[in-house]
A and B are shown apart, each in its own frame.
Chain A
Amino acid sequence: MKRSEFLRNTTLGAVGTLFVPEFLRGMELVGLQSKTNFNKLVVIQLSGGNDGLNTVVPYENDIYHSLRPKIRIPKKEVIKLNDELGLNPSLEKFNRLYDEGLVAILNSVGYPNPNRSHFRSMDIWHTGVDSNQHSKTGWLGRYMDAHCTTSHSMLELDSKLSLSLNGELRNGLAVQNSQSLYRSLRGYYFDQVIDTGEFADLHEDNQGYLYKTLVHTRQSGRYLAKTHTVKENNFEFPKSRLGRKLGQVSQFIRSGLSTQVYYVSHNGFDSHANQRNQQDRLLKDYSDSVYALVESLKKAGEFDNTLIMTFSEFGRRVKENGSSGTDHGKANNLFLIGNRLIRPGIYNAAPNLMGLDDGDVSYTIDFRNVYSDIISDWFGKDPSGIISKQFDPLDII
């Protein structure tokens, strides 16, 4: 028996579940997890609708070039991956990862009856329900309900939490850094009272619920502040907002936090006008930041247990609009990055520009198929109850 398991068993055995209030129980286990023995997921959300066709470019496709006279990326500029698809030149470092066999590119990922509103389509991606359904819980939140005991099992590097991380029993935590949650209550007028922790006797009514949430928040805040021992980055991250966020994720992982999911947004992809500059800049930032994350985790021996998924709420129209930009579209590409991918490279056929759906790329892979595989193949858990539909495995992870 490993030391951590032994400790865990004795902790529960000695204290007994009966005597520990439910909301405190998770705290007993904290900090015992070894630094590398569980799989972690980093989700990077490209918000605003990234133009997938100028990200992974069908550079030999005439339709692509003719529908995008102003914003197309010429063949000589793309970084060629095979004889039909190539990367946006801003993705130079991302391409290095690709060449190392660490990247899987999934084309035409989407869902039936797509919605072109940012808000609604993001909701659909967050909740994983059909586009005519609504849910108050996200797919990761439901995973957390079923398999995690604390809120800091899932962290979003942001000041507000996404719907993805909302569960029925608990929500993930939105933190800007290791201190922000702790500081959010530091100097709070009644912290002395809260620290007495004598609120377990409060009823299950709303008053009790508020105090319990407060105690819980303080404990999670302390845990993050205390466990975050690695404060330097072992690789240089871009100074951008995304770079800082991923640098923080790297520190968290290398500190051995028990967190299983890190969630990060990269904003600004809504390129209705003058797309090239804006998107290329954002993609370069993405590419450099992700490269830094991978290298930094590799150096610390943490990369093997980390999977990085990148998605956007929708792709954009194939035809450019009148202001050198693109409007909201449908299916899009999705990236998986990791050292244990079964099938790195380009997973499926390039988007079919001959058979467009009302001017948009149609989906051939349901995004929930990817979620489902992550839950079963990466986390080793049963996706039913978390993802409402059943899918055949894609056999990527």
Chain B
Amino acid sequence: MKRQEVIHLYNRFGFGLNAKEIRRFSKMSFEKKLRKETVDELRLDLSEFQGIDFKNLSKLERMELRKRGRKKVLDLNAAWMRKMISSENIVQEKMNLFWHHHFACIIDNPIYGLQFTNAIRKHATGNFRTLLLEVSKSAAMIDFLHTRQNNKRMPNEDFARELCELFTLGRDREYTETDVAEIARCFTGWNHRFSGAFFMQTRKHDGGSKTIFGKTGNFTGEDVIDLILQKKACAQFICENIYTYFVNPVLHEAHVNELTEVLYDSNYDIEKLIIHIANAEWFYARENILAKIKSPIEFIVGLAKQFKIENDSTESWLTLQRLFDQVLYRPPNVKGWKVNREWIDSNSLPFRLRIPSVILTNAQLQLEPKPDYDANPMGMERNNFSKRLGFSCDWDYFFANNKRINFKVLFFNNIISPQVAEFLENNSFASKKEEVIQLISLPEYQLM
């Protein structure tokens, strides 16, 4: 593979590479890279939350427990951040992030958070049916979309609607309001225990006959998922999302159709799909290079990987995520985070242009995130917020891994606006460090 192609490939199916990795991965096919990767579940000591007799706790004890739980989710968040930054399984890690975008879910409970995350991690490049089923049965999703409130006598349509609209078919495509109501009936009785384990509450399940997409039967939740997956529209919707996330925010009909066939014919094999993208000539077309705006997590992880940025404090990672407006396990709502251009406006851009230099020089930060009363009840604001985030970076690591490479190639795949290129030509930098900091302060660094 050519250098420009390798950089592009792992910008999208990864968080960017250093020069050493570019050389290493250019001698390896994407398939081989994938085969070398392993499923790597997140681990977190949650013993303090296990074996609790929740029913017999007082109201105050429950509140206290929830508070500790919310704090623990931040540890889970930080653990995931560190994994993204340090893991060799870069494709897997990127896919995990993509699926969290796809299955947006607000999570306050660390046990359910870990279960949800690991369900995704196990199947991120596996079969979409299995992934969808595992996520749907996870305690986090059951709570978030009110599946457990969905019962025979009073169905709750939340999960049924989002399953169709956000997870599989796309808004108002190939399903009707009647379908949603009937689908909700099929998922009645889905529940989870305090431990997070899924169970079927038969008493609440509506075993009667339902009519979905014109077909009639005593369908269960699993049956519904099969009925949906039988529709090519589902494969198409997934491929559209994959395309805008990994290829180009502007859809290309022919390419999406091509991917739809691959996914549908392989019975929803995600690995086959992404290998097809990596092998497609059009994936490397000029219009796709540097065409995407980095999401905050992509931005932070990419920067952190390149400069070995570390921090022992969970709070610093969280502050950074909040300033960027993307906190793991806290999407703004069921529709998920912003995408592409929505991340950029006059408020976010100056911050995003400056934050790399702030982190790399350990400078002071003046911006304070907005208070989050759900996560921190009664939280009071601090006056004159100004803090060092306290991230450490390793310049020796950066230079050792980026020998013999033009930084414009490294950071921007050599695509740069003519005016800036001219400016750079005519200016010399005081040092290599200075050059690097200035380059990653360019608007182009927002792109990938």
Q: Which residues of A contact B (CB under 8 A)?
A: 47-49, 117-120, 123, 134, 136, 151, 158-162, 170-171, 173-174, 181, 184-185, 188-190, 192-193, 196, 198-199, 202, 205-207, 209-211, 213-214, 216-217, 220, 241, 265, 267-268, 270-273, 278, 322
Contact = CB atoms under 8 A, between A and B. Distances in A.
B359 to A, nearest CB: 16
A161 B323 CA distance: 11
B419 A193 contact: yes
B380 interface: yes
A188 B441 contact: yes
A254 B291 CA distance: 44
Interface of B: 59-60, 249, 290-293, 323, 325, 332-335, 338, 340-342, 344-347, 349-351, 353-354, 366-374, 377-381, 383, 415, 417, 419-420, 423, 438, 441-444, 446-447
Contacts of A199: 417, 419
Chain B interface, DSSP helix/strand/loop, else mixed = loop
A181 B346 contact: yes
Contact of B367 (A134, A160, A193): A160
A214 B441 CA distance: 12
Contact of B374 (A119, A170, A210, A268): A119
A49 B373 contact: yes
B332 A123 contact: yes
Contacts of A158: 370
Contacts of B60: 322
B334 A267 contact: no
A206 B447 contact: yes
User: Looking at B249, B373, B377, B444, which has the most chain A CB atoms within 10 Å of its CB?
Assistant: B373
B361 to A, nearest CB: 13
Contact of B377 (A193, A209, A267, A270): A270
B431 to A, nearest CB: 14
A134 B162 CA distance: 12
Contacts of B369: 159-160
A171 B372 contact: no
B367 A209 contact: no
A245 B371 CA distance: 17
B373 A48 contact: yes
Nearest to A118: B373
Contacts of B349: 210, 213-214, 217
B341 A206 contact: yes
Given A190-B442, A196-B419, A267-B371, A184 B351 contact: yes
Given A192-B423, A207-B290, A210-B349, A119 B341 contact: no
B290 A198 contact: no
The 9 closest A-B pairs by CB, nearest first: A184-B350, A210-B443, A217-B346, A118-B373, A171-B345, A159-B367, A270-B373, A174-B347, A134-B333
Given A120-B333, A123-B333, A206-B292, A272 B377 contact: yes
A289 to B, nearest CB: 15
A316 to B, nearest CB: 12
Contact of A213 (B346, B373, B381, B444): B346
A261 B249 CA distance: 33
